Amino acid sequence: MCSSDPGSRLPQPRFLPVSRDEADKLGISIFDIIFVTGDAYVDHPSFATALLGRILWDAGFTVGVIAQPEWRSDRSFSRLGTPRLFFAVSSGNVDSMVNHYTAGLKRRSGDVYSPGGSLKRPDRATIVYTDRIHALFPHIPVVIGGVEASLRRFAHYDYWSDRVRHGILADAPADLLVFGMGERQLLEAARRLSAGEPLERLIDIRGTVFRRGIHDWRGSEHSGHMVIPSFNDVSTSKEAYARAFALHYQEQDPFRGRPVAQEHPKTVLIQNPPALPLSSGELDYLYELPYTRLAHPGYREPVPALEPVAFSITSHRGCFGGCAFCALAHHQGRIIQSRSEDSIVREAERFINMPGFRGVIQDVGGPTANMFGASCDQWTGCGTCPDRACSPGCPNLMLSHTRQINLLRRLRNIPGVKRVFIGSGIRYDLLEADPAPYLEEICAHHVSGHLKVAPEHIVPHVTATMRKPGPGAFDRFISSFEEIQAGKKKRQYLVPYFMSGHPGCTIPDMVAMALYIHDHRLYTEQVQDFTPTPMSLATCMYYTGLDPFTLQPVHIPKGREKQIQRALLHFREHENRSLVQEGLAVASRQDLIGSAPGCLIPASPAITRKWGKKGKE
């Protein structure tokens, strides 16, 4: 992944340059690549601009950063000059619409990816930034990427405008879209353009989407492509939308995926197969580049998103969980890519002399902490199975927590390291497939007072729609956790993540969940109302009312029902009483109103209950 000519590289700077003054000090007259991002520039591997910028720099390309440009000002976009190869544009680590609005479509008051939490990026930032750059530099290639572009690569339902929008490359005047994590794609594009290859030939790079003229497309042979229903079809027929989703969903494996094509009114968008997974050595290399783990010193206020991850470690990528409300399978993929233990230990050892490190490693994990080290012989050559999801019951899936247990022990034995936490959450159903004492180990050493888990719901047909483990697995996990807590002077608590308003969930289902929370005395601080975000299975269900794989109808809570469902999750809050009472009436469960021990709310609004932190009265 590094440059084939190490002698051509400039030494890695302390920070990638963000101004002409910084470029001049490094002897750079013209940048090869200029990143434009909606986030503040933070030199940390959790921030894509830093990670991708340092990889390109290490490969011999000079990189400048325009972070959070004033999007109404031409000067903001031209301050670093014209790049030799291309502009790389992203809205930032989060889709700008998700970043700006709550599930209830209320504008958020701050942005954790900005200094001081200030609001600096526009709505639909990728399109806005690309429009300005194209107007100023019409002959310079523009490559878009990041979560916003990646998950909007086909025609998609947009919750914020409540309509189907074009694939983003049909609206943004960019030349290429990078989907997924982006390292291989950007390096290949940079090398080929630098070698003089014309832009129009960069249509065979894995993990990219490109445009093709409609007449050219219709006049050519494309039997090797998966052609999905067009924008006109999916924007006028919900069944066509559901069929399109099911078709492109099956082509997102890097080994067996075919190119996917979708006609739009003025162009055809073609997705190449996903980029191949990174090897352990490649992951080690990119996470061991010399990140300072600091925000650029030009900022006068801290960037809030940095603090909780400043001294965290990415141990792996990918997730085979397949949760319906999560689009990670379309971005990082289902194949687990793990780093070596030695590399992770070296990264932790470098923390010791870094400013601000106080001996605490905040997290060691990935999308799901205990998928580290998971493997399957099929993944290395054939990809994931096309007809089934990876699960603990599959004999081909090799699950062992022993490797992670050994890694955590090595980390906490590093001189200068006081605590090593697991902050990214664990998949509790995986524990049943492995006899290793993983839960005992993390409760003893890697959890403070609270352990995060995400059952999301406890009604079987709802968890099935969510593609989550059934309630029995969570019940068994609770029992195991409570056994570990027995006899402790200072016990720990579970912090479950629950969700309201998900497709397939009804008000009686939410009443059942409220009762479960009440009866198990669970704390419900970590709850969320379902937000339909681009390219997730649940969003397809939300828009169409159909399961795209069966075309069977799915109940979709909206409007007042969605409000009631959320209130039922917070039944202990006095201000939710009227909505909870309404929900209990809909479910014919007025027996849960009163003063009896099993009741959710008191009979009179004037009566309030005092609940302890863990749900005890």
pLDDT of residue 423: 86
Q: Taking a C-beta distance cutoff of 8 angstroms, is the pair 226, 248 a contact?
A: yes
| 295, two tokens | 């925000």
pLDDT of residue 7: 47
Kind and range of the H or E run holding 242: helix 238-249
Rounded average pLDDT over 538-551: 98
610, pLDDT greater than 60 = no
The count of other CB atoms within 10 Å of the CB of residue 522 is 18
* DSSP letters for 182-196: -HHHHHHHHHHHHTT
**Percent above pLDDT 70 for the chain:** 96
498-507 tens-digit pLDDT: 999 999 999 9
Rounded average pLDDT over 274-286: 96
Quickly state the pLDDT bin for 435 (edges 50, 70, 90): confident
pLDDT of residue 433: 86
pLDDT of residue 393: 84
Quickly state the pLDDT bin for 611 (edges 50, 70, 90): very low
Rounded average pLDDT over 376-385: 90
The count of other CB atoms within 10 Å of the CB of residue 221 is 6
Rounded average pLDDT over 102-115: 94
Q: Which residue has the tokens 């309404």?
A: 582
44-70 tens-digit pLDDT: 999 999 999 999 999 999 999 999 999
Q: Taking a C-beta distance cutoff of 8 angstroms, is the pair 428, 470 a contact?
A: no
Rounded average pLDDT over 432-440: 91
* Beta-strand pair 450-456/375-376: unpaired
614, pLDDT greater than 50 = no
- Closest by CA position to 68, among listed 93, 98, 44: 93
Kind and range of the H or E run holding 95: none
104-113, 239-248, 379-388, 540-549: least confident range? 379-388
User: What phi-psi label fits residue 551: left (phi over 0), alpha (psi between -120 and 50 degrees) or beta?
Assistant: left
Domain layout of the chain by residue ranges: 6-271, 311-448, 450-617
Which architecture characterizes domain 450-617 according to CATH?
2-Layer Sandwich (3.30)
Rounded average pLDDT over 319-341: 93
Rounded average pLDDT over 483-500: 90
Quickly state the pLDDT bin for 606 (edges 50, 70, 90): low
* Beta-strand pair 176-178/142-145: parallel
Phi, psi of 567 (to 5 degrees): -60, -35
Q: Which residue has the tokens 């998971």?
A: 374
561, pLDDT greater than 90 = yes
Q: Taking a C-beta distance cutoff of 8 angstroms, is the pair 548, 554 a contact?
A: no
CA–chain centroid gap for 386, Å, is: 23
Rounded average pLDDT over 61-82: 96
608, pLDDT greater than 60 = no
Mean pLDDT rounded to a whole number for the chain: 93
pLDDT of residue 379: 93
pLDDT of residue 179: 97
Rounded average pLDDT over 469-490: 92
Kind and range of the H or E run holding 412: helix 402-412
Q: Taking a C-beta distance cutoff of 8 angstroms, is the pair 176, 202 a contact?
A: yes
Rounded average pLDDT over 193-214: 96
- Closest by CA position to 180, among listed 149, 156, 211: 149
Three-state DSSP state, 477: helix
What is the widest separation between alpha-carbon atoms in the chain? 78
- Closest by CA position to 226, among listed 266, 203, 190, 253: 253
Quickly state the pLDDT bin for 607 (edges 50, 70, 90): low
383-400 tens-digit pLDDT: 999 888 888 888 889 998
- Closest by CA position to 15, among listed 52, 84, 85, 64: 64
What are residue 375's DSSP bridge partners?
A: 398
366, pLDDT greater than 70 = yes
| 222, two tokens | 């494309």
Whether the predicted model's global pTM rises above the 0.75 cut = yes
Q: Taking a C-beta distance cutoff of 8 angstroms, is the pair 89, 142 a contact?
A: yes
Quickly state the pLDDT bin for 1 (edges 50, 70, 90): low
pLDDT of residue 616: 47
CA distance 206 to 228: 19
449, pLDDT greater than 90 = no
- Classify residue 336 by burial, with Cβ atoms within 10 Å: 0-12, 13-18, 19+: buried
The count of other CB atoms within 10 Å of the CB of residue 385 is 17
Quickly state the pLDDT bin for 495 (edges 50, 70, 90): confident
Quickly state the pLDDT bin for 8 (edges 50, 70, 90): low
**Percent above pLDDT 90 for the chain:** 84
CA distance 240 to 246: 10
3, pLDDT greater than 50 = no
The count of other CB atoms within 10 Å of the CB of residue 242 is 23
Q: Taking a C-beta distance cutoff of 8 angstroms, is the pair 65, 19 a contact?
A: no
CA distance 203 to 283: 26
**Sign of dihedral through CA atoms 156, 532, 338, 374?**
negative
- Same topology, domains 311-448 and 450-617? Answer is yes
Please, which residues have CB within 8 angstroms of residue 106's CB and are 6 or more apart in sequence? none
**CATH code for the structural domain at 311-448:** 3.30.750.210
23, pLDDT greater than 90 = yes
